[in-house]
Amino acid sequence: MRGTPKSIGALIAAGMLVACMAGCSSQDAAVDSADNTSATAQTEAASEENAEPAPLKEVTFGTYEGEPVTWLVLEEKDGTSLLVSKDVLDARAYDDVDEGAQWAETSPRPTTDVNWADSSMREWLNGEFLNAAFSSDEQGAIKEVTNTDTKNNGGRNAADFDSESYSTAPESKDRVFLLSVAEARKYFADDAARVAFPTDHAVEAGVYTGIATDESGAENAELSGAAAWWLRTNGYYAGYEAVVTDDGYIHGDGYRINGEVHDGYEDHGTEASELGHNFGVRPCVWVDTAALA
């Protein structure tokens, strides 16, 4: 009989060993599963971070110079949509002031800022352009919104609108307007997304276009011909206005509000012979979304 306890003890010990091994295996499997889940989540997160941003939705609304206008939908809320023209539609000075001092003998410039609320650009967009581009029904779908101008006191690398490098200027009520520096950062994923090409009319009006090159210095024909376009944020220097350059870069220092004669880069493309007509216009509107169906 004394042998029985030993046998039972051996069986119990063996059972405990098997159970332990099974438990350890389960724990290892659980750890492996958790590790795999974590690794998968990290991989998916990295993939999402590196993924190409989704292209903005396009809609057609209105006509300008005989051509239908294609717009990018930047935001949708409360039954309305914020649109910016996909292309640069025209070329004109931000303001047509003729006062100024000589920055250089051949390069006159204005010496005071012109706020968006007081600019001839705003007057043109909300008058002549509005009536030329939209029918009475289309105008009825365009909302009046309150905008503010901003002043860049920190140069081209000021981080964003909330930076102390920016100060506010008078508000205005607009139906058609330009993007601010903050909005150009907010609504476009990167410089490439801000690149815009001019219409035939804008080219005829004298818009500045650039010649894109690759790393070897050879011309990139696909990207060449993009146009620079105005923002409504005052530039760093007096009498300057922020722009998006032909390569999509937000230039916070800005350019002269009444246009530039030459920017100094020999590899850049067509430039206006007439002062003031070498920066492009990409209008923005808030529209009833139902009118875009």
Q: Which residues contact 109 (CB under 8 A, 6 or more apart)?
A: 100, 101, 102, 103, 239, 240, 256, 258
Read off the pLDDT of residues 64-87 as tens digits, 9 standing for 90 and up: 999 999 999 999 999 999 999 999
> Please, what is the Cα angle at 129 between 144 and 262, to 5 degrees?
115
Token couple for 80 = 């309305």
What is the DSSP-derived secondary structure letter of residue 216? T
Mean pLDDT for 164-174 is 73
* Look-up of token digits 């030993």: 6
At 179, phi and psi to the nearest 5? Answer: -70, 150
Read off the pLDDT of residues 124-151 as tens digits, 9 standing for 90 and up: 999 999 999 999 999 999 999 999 766 6
Distance of CA 161 to the CA centre of its chain: 14
Q: Which amino acid is at 161?
A: F
Q: Three-state DSSP class for 230? A: strand
**What's the mean pLDDT when you consider all of the chain?**
77
Q: pTM to 2 decimals?
A: 0.75
Mean pLDDT for 58-64 is 98
Read off the pLDDT of residues 190-200 as tens digits, 9 standing for 90 and up: 999 999 999 99
Q: Identify the band that residue 121 occupies on the pLDDT scale cut at 50, 70 and 90.
A: very high
Q: Break the chain into its structural domains and give their ranges.
A: 1-51, 58-292
| CA 61 vs CA 76, 88, 103: distances in Å | 16, 15, 42
Q: Identify the CA nearest to 90 among candidates 202, 187, 199, 193.
A: 202
Read off the pLDDT of residues 210-242 as tens digits, 9 standing for 90 and up: 888 888 888 888 778 999 999 999 888 778 899
Examine the pLDDT at 254 and tell me if it is beyond 90: no
Q: Identify the band that residue 258 occupies on the pLDDT scale cut at 50, 70 and 90.
A: confident
Q: 275 exposed, middle or buried (CB, 10 Å; 0-12, 13-18, 19+)? A: middle
Token couple for 38 = 């974590």
Among 171-180, 245-254, 266-275, the minimum mean pLDDT is found in 266-275
Read off the pLDDT of residues 27-40 as tens digits, 9 standing for 90 and up: 554 445 545 555 55
